A = this chain, B = another copy of it.
């Protein structure tokens, strides 16, 4: 999968295919060989202050823009700053913007590349588990406005995604934990074998074995890509990726909790609701919750149910429809359950 990128894919107005095909997804590829993917093009790296500090040598020789690390900077001010720097560098349509970092970096990169000069080519080098298995795949980008996550954004596929697993050597353990929430989500909604693999190993096993982790990441990329490929614009099937996210996003915003933690609590609530309304056996619900806990993810919190409900309500306004709640009827199979908002309100205290 180290083939050169089809140059057509770098055309900003003919972005890559949805999901990831071998053509634009480069597993186990050395970051140092980035330029070979886009011969003759000018690369501008976009990263955050943490990575800029850790990888000074690796990034040297590239044009570099870095912004302060942290989810709280995934906003318009950061976008404005990046755009000012692009102008200063005289970046144009001959420029490929390459985001190197976690989900905040990949989101900012996709959004800036979508709007700068009505679209320039971009690629992603995810450096966290979360970005590798989720944020870098599928083309959604977004920035937050106040408490509303990803309120602004577009859907536009990257020209390429590069996986250099050596970046994981500097990933803090808290970020490993954060990323495994999405990994467990993929297992719950689509892959009982992956679920069994996660039961067999521990976080410690993955951290100590990048070959095993690479296998895990590639399984997850395949799951997400397959779903996105079926339904790029989230008319149906893609919604199952929101398992745990309806409640998760709301508490993430309200409490400022890491995404993975919030999603873990959201998945716990979704399992509880699946038991009530979705035909999930209580032993299976328990297994999910045990697995989350095993990967050091929280499964419980003190919540202000009314506030959570209010954020969900506004969130759902985005869809222009009643709530579509994602439930599972067994480990490895999710489905969409249309739910009146009032029904959710009614159950919220019991499930969260």
Chain A interfacial positions (CB closer than 8 Å to B)? 13-14, 76, 80, 83-84, 87, 90-95, 111, 114-119, 140, 142, 145-146, 148, 150-155, 233, 235, 314, 316-321
Question: In the complex, given contacts A13-B155, A115-B154, what are 12 additional A-B residue pairs having Cβ atoms less than 8 angstroms apart?
Answer: A87-B148, A87-B151, A91-B317, A92-B318, A92-B320, A94-B320, A94-B321, A114-B154, A116-B152, A117-B152, A118-B154, A154-B154
Which residues does chain B contribute within 8 Å of A150, judged by CB atoms? Answer: 118
> In the complex, what distance in Å separates the CA atom of A151 from the CA atom of B112?
11
> Which residue of chain B is the closest to A233 with respect to CB atoms?
B13
Which residues does chain B contribute within 8 Å of A13, judged by CB atoms? Answer: 155, 233, 235
Give the contacting residue for A317; candidates B90, B154, B233; CB below 8 A: B90
Can you list 27 A-B pairs with a CB-CB distance of less than 8 A? A13-B155, A13-B233, A14-B233, A76-B80, A83-B145, A83-B151, A87-B146, A87-B148, A87-B151, A90-B317, A91-B317, A92-B317, A93-B319, A93-B321, A94-B317, A94-B321, A115-B115, A115-B152, A116-B152, A117-B153, A117-B318, A118-B142, A118-B150, A118-B153, A118-B154, A119-B154, A154-B154
> Which residue of chain B is the closest to A316 with respect to CB atoms?
B92
> In the complex, what distance in Å separates the CA atom of A146 from the CA atom of B95?
21
Determine whether the beta carbon of B155 is less than 8 Å from that of A119: yes
Q: Enumerate the 4 nearest inter-chain pairs by beta-carbon distance, A residue then B residue, closest first.
A: A92-B317, A94-B320, A93-B320, A13-B233
> Which residue of chain B is the closest to A93 with respect to CB atoms?
B320
> In the complex, what distance in Å separates the CA atom of A90 from the CA atom of B316?
10
Copies of this chain per assembly: 2
> Which residue of chain B is the closest to A121 with respect to CB atoms?
B320
> In the complex, what distance in Å separates the CA atom of A106 from the CA atom of B161?
35
Which residues does chain B contribute within 8 Å of A233, judged by CB atoms? Answer: 13-14
Which residues does chain B contribute within 8 Å of A80, judged by CB atoms? Answer: 76
What is the distance, in angstroms, from A249's C-beta to the closest C-beta of chain B? 13
What is the distance, in angstroms, from A257's C-beta to the closest C-beta of chain B? 22
Which residues does chain B contribute within 8 Å of A153, judged by CB atoms? Answer: 115, 117-118
> Which residue of chain B is the closest to A313 with respect to CB atoms?
B90
Which of A111, A140, A153, A318 is most buried by chain B, counting CB atoms within 10 A of its CB?
Answer: A318
Which of A92, A146, A150, A235 is most buried by chain B, counting CB atoms within 10 A of its CB?
Answer: A92
Determine whether the beta carbon of B320 is less than 8 Å from that of A151: no
> In the complex, what distance in Å separates the CA atom of A94 from the CA atom of B319?
7
Determine whether the beta carbon of B93 is less than 8 Å from that of A318: yes
Which residues does chain B contribute within 8 Å of A317, judged by CB atoms? Answer: 90-94
> In the complex, what distance in Å separates the CA atom of A152 from the CA atom of B76?
13
> In the complex, what distance in Å separates the CA atom of A111 from the CA atom of B84?
19
> Which residue of chain B is the closest to A156 with respect to CB atoms?
B154
What is the distance, in angstroms, from A141's C-beta to the closest C-beta of chain B? 8
What is the distance, in angstroms, from A119's C-beta to the closest C-beta of chain B? 7
What is the distance, in angstroms, from A306's C-beta to the closest C-beta of chain B? 17
What is the distance, in angstroms, from A111's C-beta to the closest C-beta of chain B? 8
What is the distance, in angstroms, from A315's C-beta to the closest C-beta of chain B? 9
> Which residue of chain B is the closest to A95 with respect to CB atoms?
B320
